[in-house]
Structure 1
Amino acid sequence: MLYRMPSLDIADRRVLDEIDVLRDQLRHAVQQAPMKWTQDLRKALTASAIAASNTIEGYRVDAKDVADLMDGERDAVDASEENKAETLAYQQAMTYIQSLHDVPDFRYSKELLNALHWMLQGHHHPQRLAGQWRRTAIRITAPGDELATDYEGPDAERLPDLMGELVDWLNDGDLEAHVLVRAAMAHLNLVKIHPWSDGNGRMSRSLQTLVIARGGVLAPEFSSIEEWLGMPGNTWEYYKVLREVGGPVYSPERETGPWVRFNLLACHQQTQRVQRRVERSNDCWVQLMDAASSFGITERQITALHEVAMAGRVRRSRYEKAEVLNTQQATRDLQALTKAGLLTAVGQTKGRHYIAGPRFPEQVLATARRPHTITDPYAS
């Protein structure tokens, strides 16, 4: 037996309608935006999701460093080897999830979930089983007190049947329900079944992203709520609602409305945040295009300046890949921007990156830092 879909009240349905409108607006905005910077934005959002989800589990790598790791800049990132390994493993799983969003004959299966788990946790095998159901009992400790039990998962003997039931539901259950509600329930059921010895939280959040992305409204990079969940206050609420709804042991008869409501709040507010980011990014691009002639820069160099405005820095390797240049061309462009005072080089050799120089347009930097207000849809 799985945790069941709740009945939605008037407020839930109103919030769902608002999310649909916001997501449609965001999809339109992304489609109209210049391809170059939307590719950068997709990578930045993926990096933020990976950084946030790993942070929830205690692995801390800044989103900008995650983006560098995604570009192959392992030696340039100042993080422990353990944190780098966890980041790259999550990137591997996330990349595969993103590739599945439009597969025409897609089906969920136990094999798919175990394969995703291997991508995420295979570097720990065989010390910790990866890609296989756990073979022992599982006990989750309370935050800050390792002796206090927060949750006990179902017995290992039940896992094949429970996971079979979950896979069947993912393929054929409650298909008339809104995709965001189904995704939230997929997350809840997987994390409460807790089928693996480690990595269950990240797998559950990844599954939620996949279910949403399969809904087809937005690309996976724009669909994840992991960045929102990784914010400190939100992470605390996330654990709190999982405890309250899930119960101290596997209890699928419990009311799941508060969990779905929490996830709808997350979807609404994360979509607001991404929408504001798209607006800022587009405005920065337009302002840099307007300033290009006065600074004597090419359109491809705008890509580097845009990355600095939005992310705070750019590396030669990132610029090289974005503009499909060879190393010499990318180096010459960045040196020219540095000589013009638009960029400032920081660090040496592999660790070198570029930040805004003394002549970088202040208006663009102000636009990139433009504050926004995020509303609570349930407070309306």
Structure 2
Amino acid sequence: MLFPTPALSREDDQVVAEIEAMRHELRHQLRNTPAKWTEGLRKFLTADAVAASNSIEGFRVSTVDVEDLMDGERDVEVSEVNREETLAYQRMMTYIQTLHDATDFSYSKGLLNGLHWMLQGHRHSIRKPAGQWRRGPVYVTDPRDPGIAAYTGPDAEEVPALMAELVDWLNTDDGSHALVRAAMAHLHLVSIHPWADGNGRMSRSLQTLMIAREGVLAPEFSSIEAWLGRPGNTWEYYRELALRGPRYLPDQDVTDWIRFNLTAYHQQAQTVQGRVDRSRVVWGILSDFAETAATDERIVSALYDVAMFGRVRRSRYEHAEGLSLQQAQRDLRDLVTSEVLTPVGRTRARMYVAGPHFPEQALEVARTPMTLTHPYQADR
């Protein structure tokens, strides 16, 4: 038995309508925006989702470090465990992103186990098999006391039947809104807890996949994993799951869970829109700066990374602009000489940050925080 999907109230319908309006507007804007900086934004959002979802499980790597790892950088100061977890999750997320427009697509136990192997294969063992249903009990322990089980999953013998029921549900349109179905899929999977490890990230990834399959936005702009990874939201996330009870009790009203997810969708859409708006303004300021300084426009991508993400590496700039090693080195050396950039770190791990002559207006725009509204608060 799975959790029944609750009916939406009039207030819920209004929130869904607002989310849809924001997402359609964002889609329109992205279609009419130069690809060069939107590609950088796509990569950042993917890295942000990976960093956030892993952080919920205790693997903490900053978004910019995740970006560097995604670019193949070796000299990133993270532990080997965090490196492996980051790259595994990034590979799985990349595959999920490619499925957003796959033809003849269907959900299956094989697909879910295959995704789990991509996530956990590097940790495969007899005790914790990857890509296979668990063979014994599974517990989610209290973060303050590992001796207390905050949640105990269904018996291992029940998992195959529950997962078969979930796959059937995933492949059947019950008339619910796609965002609601994605939230329910997350709840179903995390509650069944079918694997020995990696259940939280798999559940969040399934939600991302279902939103991406909806087709309104590219998957990089659809995930709420970054929102869930913010500390306050992570606490609320755990609280919402805890409200479902210490054991698998699917015969209950989960309206609160749906509203929590609708809030996440709404605020993540606001966040992405704000980042798009800031990116557009920053890119314009830096383009004007490059023109005034009579330098090649290609340097804008390097300056953009510094303004928006705090730093740029030579390899990232080289790949973004399709340059040779010598061209990239020469451009960055010239920017250092003119004090637009300042080098930091050793030769192999060197990165570049804003120098004394970096366009201050671009930094001000990039660093100005935005304000989010709460869709269920009357004074928004």
TM-score by structure 2 length?
Answer: 0.98
Q: Matches of 1:204 and 1:34 in 2, distance apart?
A: 34
Residue identity in the other structure for 1:41: L
Partner of 1:113: 112
Q: Secondary structure at the match of 1:372?
A: coil
Partner of 1:83: 82
Do 2:290 and 2:299's aligned partners in 1 also have CA atoms closer than 8 Å? no
Q: Secondary structure at the match of 1:151?
A: strand
Equivalence map 1:1-380=2 (5 Å): 1-74=1-74, 76-127=75-126, 128-174=128-174, 176-244=175-243, 246-380=244-378
Residue identity in the other structure for 2:77: D
Q: Secondary structure at the match of 2:141?
A: strand
Q: Matches of 1:68 and 1:289 in 2, distance apart?
A: 24
Q: Matches of 2:29 and 2:295 in 1, distance apart?
A: 26
Q: Matches of 1:157 and 1:271 in 2, distance apart?
A: 40
Q: Matches of 1:338 and 1:357 in 2, distance apart?
A: 8
Q: Secondary structure at the match of 1:172?
A: coil
CA drift at 1:371: 2.1
Q: Secondary structure at the match of 1:66?
A: helix
Residue identity in the other structure for 2:104: D
Residue identity in the other structure for 2:9: D
- Structure 1 runs of 4+ aligned residues shifted over 3 Å read none
Q: Matches of 1:320 and 1:60 in 2, distance apart?
A: 27
Q: Matches of 1:297 and 1:88 in 2, distance apart?
A: 36
Residue identity in the other structure for 1:302: V
Residue identity in the other structure for 1:230: G
Residue identity in the other structure for 2:256: P
Q: Matches of 1:38 and 1:248 in 2, distance apart?
A: 43
Residue identity in the other structure for 2:147: L
Deviations 1:319-370 (A, max 9, x none): 1111111211111111111112211111122210011111111001111112
Percent of aligned pairs sharing the same letter: 61
Deviations 1:297-316 (A, max 9, x none): 21111110111111110011
Do 2:291 and 2:297's aligned partners in 1 also have CA atoms closer than 8 Å? no
CA drift at 1:139: 1.7
Do 2:318 and 2:324's aligned partners in 1 also have CA atoms closer than 8 Å? yes
Q: Matches of 2:367 and 2:81 in 1, distance apart?
A: 32
CA drift at 1:158: 1.1
Residue identity in the other structure for 2:54: N
CA drift at 1:296: 2.1
Q: Matches of 1:67 and 1:95 in 2, distance apart?
A: 13
RMSD: 0.9
Residue identity in the other structure for 1:229: L
CA drift at 1:48: 0.6
Q: Matches of 2:281 and 2:6 in 1, distance apart?
A: 41
Q: Secondary structure at the match of 1:235?
A: helix
CA drift at 1:258: 0.5
State which drifts further: 278-287 or 335-344: 335-344
TM-score by structure 1 length?
Answer: 0.98
Residue identity in the other structure for 2:153: G
Deviations 1:53-80 (A, max 9, x none): 0000000101110000000113x21111
Q: Matches of 2:334 and 2:28 in 1, distance apart?
A: 36
Q: Matches of 1:28 and 1:312 in 2, distance apart?
A: 28
Residue identity in the other structure for 2:67: A
Q: Matches of 1:264 and 1:186 in 2, distance apart?
A: 14
Deviations 1:272-297 (A, max 9, x none): 01100000000001111112222222
Q: Matches of 1:299 and 1:163 in 2, distance apart?
A: 53
Q: Matches of 1:267 and 1:372 in 2, distance apart?
A: 17
Q: Matches of 1:170 and 1:321 in 2, distance apart?
A: 39
Deviations 1:125-178 (A, max 9, x none): 12521000000011211121112121111111111111111111111141x211
